[in-house]
Amino acid sequence: MDLLNTLVDKGLRRELPTREEALAVLATSDDDLLDVVAAAGKVRRHWFGRRVKLNYLVNLKSGLCPEDCSYCSQRLGSEAGILKYTWLKPDEASKAAAAGLAGGAKRVCLVASGRGPTDRDVDRVSDTIKAIKDQNEGVEVCACLGLLSDGQAERLREAGADAYNHNLNTSESTYGDITTTHTYADRVDTVQKAHAAGLSACSGLIAGMGETDEDLVDVVYSLRELDPDSVPVNFLIPFEGTPLAKEWNLTPQRCLRILAMVRFVCPDVEVRIAGGREVHLRTMQPLALNLANSIFLGDYLTSEGQAGKADLEMIADAGFEVEGADQITLPEHRAAGGGCGSHAAAGCGSAAQTGCGSEAEAGCGSHAGAGCGSHEGGGVCGTASAPAGTNEPRTDLVAVRRRGAGTDLAPNA
C-alpha cells in the first residue's frame, strides 16, 4: 500500500504526514489492519527498539473535583462510586509508589484531582517527590496536578519533578462540548508553562467520546506542535454516573488505527497506552505494543486495570522487553535537547539521573479528566470479550478501584 510506504518513510525521517494521510490511516479497513500495524511498528522499532517503558500511577487526592469534565469519574456531580479521600501524606505516597517500582516501573506519576494546585499543594507534592526520590535512586517522577499558575512549574522542577502531564484530550473545536469550567487554551498554557520551566512535557488525548476522525487528527497535530516528550493515548471508559456513560464507540480495531495514526504523526515521541486499554483493546493489547512503547502498570486512578503480573507476561509473550532503569527512553536527539527527554541530564527517558514524567489516567479538573495520561478509569481484565464483530457495552470490564492508595489493601502492581 503506497500510503503506508510513504508514512514509514516519513516516520523514519521525522517528517510530518499530511492531514489527508493521517485521516486515511483512520479510514483503513479491517482487512488492512495488520498491514497498518506492521508499518507503524517499523517506525516504533526504529526509534524505540522492542523496549516497553512501565509507568505507575499514584492518586494523591481522589474525587470531589470542582471541574465538570464529562469523561471523568471525579468530576463535579459525578455519581460514580469511586474512592474519595484528601491528600496522601508523603510517606503514604512513597509506599504506594514503591509497589509499582518493585513491579518494574521506572516512572511514577503523582496525580491529584482538582482545577489546579494551590501553593500549599505544591509544597505537599514537593515533599512527596523528595520522599520518593530519597528512597528510590534513579526514579522518574511526573506530576499531574491540573492547571498551573505562574511559578509553580519552576517550583516543582526545583523539588525534583522531571515531567508534568496535562492532556489536551480532544480538539479545540469540540473542547467546549466536553468541559465548560476551563478552556482548551488553559490546557495549552499549562503545557507551555511546563516546557518553559525545563520539565518534560507530557500531553495526550482521550478517544471514544463521540469525536470525528477530523477531531482526532486535529488534537494529534496540535500535540505535535506543542512537542511533548510523551503522548498518552486514553480510551474512554464510560463510567456509570458520568455524562458519557453511554458512549461505547470503540472497537479493538479502531483503537489500533488510532495508535498507528499517533505513531505516524509523532514518530520519535514516547507514545503511551493509557486508561481504557483493557476495556477496548481487550485481547488485542499485545498487538498495540507494536505501536506504543509505554504503558501503565496495574491499576489506574479510580478504576482497576490488568494485574501487573499479567502486564509483564503480555510484554514477554509478545516478544518485547521491559525497559530498564539504566536505559534511555527517548531517541538521542530528543534526550539531549533540554527537557527530560529534552533535559538530558535528568532525562526523560534519559534515565540518567532521574528521568522524567509520565502521565496518568483521568485526573479530573486537575488534568481534567484524562490526567496524567491515562483517562478515567482503566478497566479490569480477565473476563471474556464480546463476540467478534460486535461492540456491545462491556460494563463488566469497568471496575472501581478499591485497593492501593487511599485504602488499607495492597495495590495491584
Look at residues 11, 4, 10, 36 and name the one whose alpha carbon lies nearest to residue 257: 36
pLDDT above 70 (res 337): no
Instruction: Assess contact for 120 and 87: CB atoms under 8 A.
Output: no
Q: For helices 213-226 and 19-26, give the axis angle rounded to 10 degrees.
A: 130
As a whole number, mean pLDDT of residues 215-224 equals 98
400 three-class SS: strand
Q: 271-307 pLDDT, tens per residue?
A: 999 999 999 999 999 999 999 999 999 887 777 789 9
Residue 72 is among the residues annotated as catalytic for this protein: yes
109 is in an annotated binding site: yes
Residue 372 is among the residues annotated as catalytic for this protein: no
Instruction: Assess contact for 88 and 254: CB atoms under 8 A.
Output: no
pLDDT above 70 (res 349): no
Cell of residue 272, nine digits: 503511551
As a whole number, mean pLDDT of residues 358-381 equals 38
Q: Mean pLDDT score of the chain, rounded to an integer?
A: 86
| CA-based R_g, the chain, Å | 19
Question: Pick the catalytic residue: 51, 65, 107, 401?
Answer: 65
pLDDT above 60 (res 382): no
Q: 230-267 pLDDT, tens per residue?
A: 999 999 989 888 888 899 999 999 999 999 999 999 99
C-alpha neighbours within 13 Å on the C-beta side of residue 254? 20
As a whole number, mean pLDDT of residues 108-130 equals 95
Question: Pick the catalytic residue: 44, 51, 107, 109?
Answer: 109
Strands 51-61 and 294-296, by their bridges, are parallel
Share of the chain above pLDDT 70, in %: 85
Largest Cα span, the chain: 56
Least confident segment among 129-133, 153-157, 199-203, 404-408: 404-408
Considering the segment(s) 22-397 as one domain, its CATH architecture is Alpha-Beta Barrel (3.20)
Residue 266 is among the residues annotated as catalytic for this protein: no
CA 173-166-27 angle, to 5 degrees, is 50
pTM of the prediction?
0.88
Structure confidence at residue 354 as a pLDDT band (50, 70, 90): very low
Structure confidence at residue 343 as a pLDDT band (50, 70, 90): very low
69 is in an annotated binding site: yes
**pLDDT given for residue 357 in this prediction:** 30
Look at residues 142, 165, 321 and name the one whose alpha carbon lies nearest to residue 232: 165
Q: 38-80 pLDDT, tens per residue?
A: 999 999 999 999 999 999 999 998 878 888 888 887 776 767 7
356 is in an annotated binding site: no
**Domain residue ranges in the chain:** 22-397
22 three-class SS: helix
**pLDDT given for residue 391 in this prediction:** 67
Distance CA 102, CA 94 (A): 12
Question: Pick the catalytic residue: 254, 272, 277, 334?
Answer: 272
**pLDDT given for residue 352 in this prediction:** 32
Residue 364 is among the residues annotated as catalytic for this protein: no
Residue 124 is among the residues annotated as catalytic for this protein: no
Q: Which residue has the higher pLDDT, 173 or 390?
A: 173
As a whole number, mean pLDDT of residues 97-102 equals 94
Cell of residue 131, nine digits: 520522599
202 is in an annotated binding site: yes
Residue 381 is among the residues annotated as catalytic for this protein: no
**pLDDT given for residue 76 in this prediction:** 66
Instruction: Assess contact for 373 and 109: CB atoms under 8 A.
Output: yes
Question: Pick the catalytic residue: 75, 142, 254, 364?
Answer: 142
Question: Pick the catalytic residue: 75, 107, 187, 202?
Answer: 202
Question: Pick the catalytic residue: 69, 255, 266, 340?
Answer: 69
